Amino acid sequence: MSSIELTASQKTILRALVDLYTQRESAVKGEDIAEEVDRNPGTIRNQMQSLKALQLVEGVPGPKGGYKPTTNAFEALEIEQMDRPANVDVYLNGELIEEANVQDIDLSSVHHPELCRAEIQLRGSVRDFHEGDSVSVGPTPISKLVVEGSVDGKDDAHNIVILKIDDMTAPAEEPEH
C-alpha cells in the first residue's frame, strides 16, 4: 500500500475516530469526534468526506450510524489492529509483567532513524516503568513484531510508555516442521 499523506488535522480526526471506535466497537458519531478533537461538527463532516474519498473511513447509515475506520485507516496511522483481547507480553528488565497488556504500539517516528521511539499504550498501570528500564514488547498477534528498548518517558494519564527503540524484529516466516 502506498503511504497516504494526511494533513495534521486529518490525522487527528482519524486517530480520534480509531480510538473511539476501538473503545466502543461500533460506529462513531461526528459530534463525538468533534467533541474529542475540539472542532465543530461541520468541520468533522467536511473532513470525513475527504477521508471517505481516501477510503479510510466508512459512513454507517441509520440511528446507530456514524463513521467507522477501514483497515486502511489503521495502516495509514501505522497502528497494528489488535483483535481483542490480544495478549501481547511486556517484559520489564527481563521480567514478564503479568498484569500489563499492550493496547497499542505506535511507531509514528520510525521514519526518523535518529528519533527511533515507540509509544506503547498499556492496559494496566505504567507506574513500575522508570526511565532507563529495559523493556521488551511482543510478539504482536499479527506481524509477530517484537520491540525492544529502554524507557525514555511515560504518560501516566494515558498509560503510555515511550521507548527508545534498540531493536525491532519481526521474524521471517518459519517453515512448519
Which residues, in sequence order, are bridge partners of residue 168?
147
Q: Which residues pair with 153 in a beta bridge?
A: 162
99-130 b/e (C-beta count within 10 Å ≥ 16 → b): ebbbbbbbbeeeeeeeebbbbbbbeeebeebe
CATH code for the structural domain at 8-76: 1.10.10.10
Q: Residue 88: phi, psi to the nearest 5?
A: -110, 120
Closest CA to 168 of 139, 138, 150, 146: 146
89-121 tens-digit pLDDT: 899 999 998 877 787 788 765 556 566 788 888
Domain ranges of the chain: 8-76, 90-169
Whole-angstrom Cα distance, residue 101 to residue 26? Answer: 22
Q: What DSSP element (H or E) covers 98?
A: none
The DSSP call for residue 79 is B
- pTM for this predicted structure: 0.48
What pLDDT score was predicted for residue 145?
81
Identify the pLDDT of residue 1. 43
Residue 64 sits at φ, ψ, to 5 deg, of -90, 10
Q: What pLDDT, in 10s, does the model give residues 40-78?
A: 999 999 999 999 999 999 999 888 899 999 888 877 777
